[in-house]
Amino acid sequence: MRRSSQLGVLRRAVAAAVLCACACGAPEARADGPRILFVAPTATPFSARVRAEIEAMGFTVEPAEAVDLEGAPTAVAATRLVETPPRRVELWIVDAARGRLALRAVIQPSADDDEATQTVRASEQLRAFFQPLREPAPQSLPPPPPAPPRDTPLPVPAPLPAVPAPLADGAPPWPRLVVDAAVAVPLEPGGPGVDLALRARWMVTQRIGVGGLVSVPIVGSTVSSTEGSASSSAAILGAEISAVLLDARRVRLAASAGLGAAWLRTAGFASAPYTGRPDSLVSALPFLGVEVAPRLTDHLRLYLGGHAAISLPGADIVFAGRSVATWGRPLGLLAAGVSLEL
């Protein structure tokens, strides 16, 4: 009996020791890493690899429909994927001074690479960009630096050299080539006509471009008098230099100046006893222009433009030795169409 009682006491002591060890043992905890907003309109293997790369670096990924620029976001940075060609990854980081996300770099894999190569190169640049934001491992934490004064903004990691950032309002990187196609209405003596206008310009910098334009007449105008009538139409070919005054996410405003050549053709229809005859003239055409281009998609805009020009020399329309109108003094051209950015 005594031996059995001793064994019972021993069992109770062992059980108590085990319970104490379990109660005193530190529970395993896993702190969430810094939060990264993740904007991907569609799920693709490329977007899945980018997200996995961010999570592998210890960040907490928060899916979002868009990058929230207003107010102070809960995330320290954001990643936005654009799958439409050219594919790119926009990297945003919190600007401590303004309390909002700001675009700092754009990763744009080469279109000549295959899917696997694009993914690997994007992952390498992601690791380099997010490395300064990673929390160091607990075992290798250095002594904490002294807290900065409250009025001193926190340091922001230097951005990676990548595709140049947009001008304003989160606009995408500036295009190299802009092509406009529009229906133009020339304001001529005798009333408006209808032209088909095409413009193309190469953007030398974010704001300065050089290019050319051509306007082909579809419907001319007619000048009438007691002696008869005359129809006129002019084909225009010119070169111009343009300056972007505003390039925001939603709208672009630009002005231009140039010199063109106009080939004016007229055909007369005279009343008896007069006779009419066709005629043509080539004249210089210096002009000024302005355009407004609201954005429709990443690469397509609505184009609304106007040009004012003066013909050198002016072309007189003469009936029976009497000048009834002068073409190109001045000449107006209103246009509406689309603008493609490449």
CATH number of the domain encompassing residue 45: 3.30.160
In a domain, 223, yes or no: yes
pLDDT at 195: 93
Question: Contact at 8 Å (CB) between 106 and 165?
Answer: yes
Residue 250 has pLDDT above 60, yes or no: yes
Q: What's the domain count of the chain?
A: 2
Mark whether 218 and 112 lie in a shared domain: no
Mark whether 220 and 330 lie in a shared domain: yes
Q: What is the mean pLDDT of residues 110-119?
A: 75
DSSP state of 140: G
Mark whether 54 and 120 lie in a shared domain: yes
Domain residues for the domain of 330 are 177-341
| High-pLDDT (> 70) share of the chain, % | 71
Question: Contact at 8 Å (CB) between 210 and 137?
Answer: no
Angstrom distance (rounded) from CA 207 to CA 254 = 9
Residue 49 has pLDDT above 60, yes or no: yes
pLDDT per position as a tens digit, 121-150: 777 787 777 777 765 544 555 666 666 566
Question: What does R_g of the chain's alpha carbons equal in angstroms?
Answer: 35
Name which of 255, 258, 254, 209 is nearest 236 in CA terms: 258
Mark whether 186 and 251 lie in a shared domain: yes
Angstrom distance (rounded) from CA 33 to CA 30 = 9
Return the structure tokens found at 305. Answer: 């433009």
Give the SS3 label for residue 327. Answer: strand
Angstrom distance (rounded) from CA 337 to CA 342 = 17
Which of 83, 114, 136 represents a domain boundary (last residue)?
A: 136
Mark whether 309 and 198 lie in a shared domain: yes
pLDDT per position as a tens digit, 182-235: 999 998 887 888 999 999 999 999 899 999 999 999 988 888 776 677 788 889
pLDDT at 149: 63
Mark whether 329 and 234 lie in a shared domain: yes
pLDDT at 287: 95
Poorest-pLDDT segment among 130-139, 177-186, 243-252: 130-139
Mark whether 327 and 201 lie in a shared domain: yes
Give the SS3 label for residue 19. Answer: helix
- Higher-pLDDT residue of 156 and 317 is 317
In a domain, 154, yes or no: no
Angstrom distance (rounded) from CA 72 to CA 68 = 9
Mark whether 78 and 224 lie in a shared domain: no
Q: Which residue type does 7 have?
A: L
Residue 84 has pLDDT above 90, yes or no: no
Q: Mention every residue, 6+ apart, whose C-beta is less than 8 A from residue 159.
A: 91, 93, 104, 105, 129
Residue 263 has pLDDT above 70, yes or no: yes
pTM of the model: 0.50
Q: How many CA atoms lie within 13 A of 48 on its CB side?
A: 5
In a domain, 8, yes or no: no
Question: Contact at 8 Å (CB) between 101 and 93?
Answer: yes
Residues paired with 291 in a beta bridge: 254, 305
Q: Mention every residue, 6+ apart, whose C-beta is less than 8 A from residue 272.
A: none
| High-pLDDT (> 90) share of the chain, % | 27
Question: Contact at 8 Å (CB) between 34 and 52?
Answer: no
Mark whether 198 and 55 lie in a shared domain: no
Residues paired with 94 in a beta bridge: 101
Which of 136, 154, 185 represents a domain boundary (last residue)?
A: 136
Contacts of residues 60-66 at CB distance under 8 Å and 24 or more positions apart, as own/partner, are 60/32, 60/33, 60/34, 60/35, 60/36, 61/35, 61/36, 62/35, 62/36, 62/37, 62/38, 63/38, 63/39, 64/37, 64/38, 64/39, 65/39, 66/39
Angle formed by the axes of helices 115-130 and 45-56, nearest 10°: 30
Domain CATH number, residue 287: 2.40.160.20
Q: What is the mean pLDDT of residues 269-289?
A: 78
Residue 156 has pLDDT above 70, yes or no: no
Poorest-pLDDT segment among 15-19, 45-49, 91-95: 15-19
